[in-house]
Amino acid sequence: MVAYFGYGSLVNTSTHQNETLHVQATRLTGWRRVWRPRPDMPGFPAALLTVRPESEQSCDGLLVYDHLDNLPAVDRREARYERRTVTGEMFSDDIAAPIGCPVYVYSALENVPAHPRPPQILRSYLDAVLQGFLTHFGEDGVLRFVRETDNWEFGVADDRGAPIYPRSVKLLRDETAFFDGVLDNAGIEHSPVS
């Protein structure tokens, strides 16, 4: 068994590629969530989420318990991220990891060249993330996600009509209205994909 802390799309279990064992909503202390530029690779210059160590910060997320055999597939999904070990004391709740079960968080590799075009947050990716937070943390959790994540100045590229994110999700009408309202109230810029 292995466990890893998801703080972005991994919070939405419909994006998981493998059948996992158990998930637990929790809060990781000593880390801050941020949008970062996409590495220099083909495709849209989508901003991606990462976490960085910050002693006075914390972020919500989902602790995913999985079969150890599935870890290479998760590593491929999190390409250009480093799998880092975290400990039970870093979580605000009692975590249910059995003794000897390693617990990881993925954070972006620091020395990877950024995409040459300015980054934008893909709405299809953000929708998947926010739907996961709404499911596990409620409306307050979605608001906290926005408040506790840096670099919203990248802006949002609206690709809902033709999703670029490969694990895009279907939203209910109420979810769409709520997420759009949250972004508008936070003053987060959005524009069509160009």
CA 55 from centroid of its chain's CA atoms: 20
Answer positive or negative: Cα dihedral of 44, 50, 54, 60. Answer: positive
pLDDT of residue 168: 96
How far apart (Å, rounded) are the C-alpha atoms in residues 41 and 79?
A: 12
In whole angstroms, give the CA distance from residue 180 to residue 20: 31
* Burial class for 177, CB neighbours closer than 10 Å (0-12, 13-18, 19+): exposed
What's this model's pTM, rounded to 2 decimal places? 0.94
Instruction: Please give the tally of structural domains in the chain.
Output: 1
* CA diameter of the chain: 49
Distance CA 24, CA 32 (A): 19
126/5 Cα distance (integer angstroms): 18
* CATH number of the domain encompassing residue 7: 3.10.490.10
pLDDT of amino acid 98: 75
pLDDT per position in the chain (194 positions), as tens? 999 999 999 999 999 988 899 999 999 999 999 999 999 888 899 999 999 999 999 999 999 999 999 999 999 999 889 999 998 888 887 776 777 899 999 999 988 899 999 999 999 999 999 999 999 999 999 999 999 999 999 999 999 999 999 999 999 999 999 999 999 999 999 898 87
Domain with 177 in it: 2-192
Strands 103-108 and 2-6 come out as: parallel
Question: Exposed, middle or buried, 187 (CB in 10 Å: 0-12/13-18/19+)?
Answer: exposed
Q: What are the CA-CA distances from residue 101 to residues 78, 119, 189 (Å)?
A: 20, 36, 42
> How high is the pLDDT of residue 183?
96
For CA atoms 101, 110, 39, 160, the dihedral sign is positive
> How far apart, in whole angstroms, are the C-alpha atoms of residue 166 and residue 107?
20
